[in-house]
Amino acid sequence: MKTISLIGSTGSIGTQTLDVCMKHNIKVKALAAKRSVRLLAEQAHKFNAEIVCVFDEDKYNELCGLMTDTDAEVLCGMDGLCKVAELDGIDLFVNSVVGMVGLLPTLKAIEKGRDIALANKETLVAGGIIVMQKAEEKGVKIYPIDSEHSAIFQCLQGNDKKQLNKIILTASGGPFFGKTKAELENVTVEQALNHPNWSMGNKITIDSATLMNKGLEFIEAKWLFGVEPEDIEIVVNRESVLHSAVEFDDYSVIGQLGTPDMKIPIQYALLYPERYECDVNRLSLTDYGTLSFYKPDYETFDCLRACIEAIKKGGAYPCLVNGANEEAVKLFLERRISFLDIGRIVSGILTEFEPMEINTYEDVLKADKAAREYVVRRVSV
């Protein structure tokens, strides 16, 4: 029986991860969430968790009150998240929090030699250099939970990675596929939150509408699979059925297909290399009839272009675009900036900052903070 610890348990990936654990008898030793303590406590009871942690410290007392009928240890804050990540006696640490907050727990787990199932994009985008270096040093395996990276990972099984010629990273195109910038000028928060194929949390749904999400995934792919930016092609598949593909040196292309449901990549990461029945609708190609493919529109979607430029420039630039985007999305959701402002801000940061190197976690924090301050400054004038 496998044992995991999980941070981000009340989010979209977190709750689906727990569904997979329930179905396949995976033991959940520790759980953490941002601030939804009622659901968190419910999950902790259901799985008999030994440790339960809430990130927002003002929710600590409430969580303690909800756990008094158990022997569970109750923790809070970043220290708590890191304890969940470092926990002894687990096979896999699952990181499904949203944002930069996921980076330190990832580094702590690697330090302990713990294998990781990773849904937290920002970990690799902001800290890719140090995360991959440390993971290699410690022999830690990182299993991607993101559907695209899981697809690429699956396509590489049984093949020699040295013969990988190109990654074909697929995108849904988001709710604003085919639109021009002029048509996107007055997009509302509600319109941006309405994704055609995937149901996800707010931050990633906005990132999918701006195509920032694909930009982040582009950067992640570079780190996870050790390829150059020139060797990753983004292709829009409107149906989100081809989850990504790889091309080998003989130009044979192998792709992974399935209905758009995160349970498949979550289960593959948790049970790798085993494959068991998954609680999803099966793919019927004939029900779809046709699959459509397009080039992405780099003109309209500034965020996507900015991410690719950032990883080509290297150093702190990926971290800067990520930090700027997190801040900009927050402002958009608060209705303080427009939809297109997100792209303007994210691409603006590339020309505003001199190159900086990333060698340590502190360097990442510094760049991230600088990016956020830039956004606040820019918006308040």
Binding site for Mn ion (CB under 5 A): 146-148
Minimum distance from residue 51 beta carbon to Mn ion (Å) = 29
Cβ closest to Mn ion, residue 55 vs residue 218: 218
Cβ closest to Mn ion, residue 115 vs residue 220: 220
DSSP 208-233: HHHTHHHHHHHHHHHHHHT--GGGEE
Taking the CA atoms of 34, 89, 360 and 231 in sequence, report the sign of the dihedral they define. negative
Minimum distance from residue 258 beta carbon to Mn ion (Å) = 13
Q: How distant, in Å, are the alpha carbons of 86, 136, 170 from that of 147?
A: 26, 23, 10
CA–CA distance, 346 with 335 (Å, rounded to integer) = 17
Which is it for strands 116-118 and 142-144: parallel, antiparallel or unpaired? parallel
Cβ closest to Mn ion, residue 13 vs residue 110: 13
Cβ closest to Mn ion, residue 77 vs residue 175: 175
Q: Which residue has the tokens 């290699």?
A: 136
Minimum distance from residue 153 beta carbon to Mn ion (Å) = 13
Cβ closest to Mn ion, residue 82 vs residue 116: 116
Minimum distance from residue 257 beta carbon to Mn ion (Å) = 15
Minimum distance from residue 318 beta carbon to Mn ion (Å) = 17
Burial 196-234 (b: 16+ CB within 10 A, else e): ebbebeebbbbbbbbbbbbbbbbbbbbbbbebebeebeb
- The token pair at 261 is 């449901």
Cβ closest to Mn ion, residue 127 vs residue 265: 265
Minimum distance from residue 220 beta carbon to Mn ion (Å) = 9
What are the φ/ψ torsions at residue 85 (nearest 5 degrees)?
-70, -35
List beta partners, residue 51: 30, 73
Cβ closest to Mn ion, residue 198 vs residue 272: 198
CA–CA distance, 360 with 199 (Å, rounded to integer) = 35
What are the φ/ψ torsions at residue 320 (nearest 5 degrees)?
-65, -45
Minimum distance from residue 70 beta carbon to Mn ion (Å) = 35
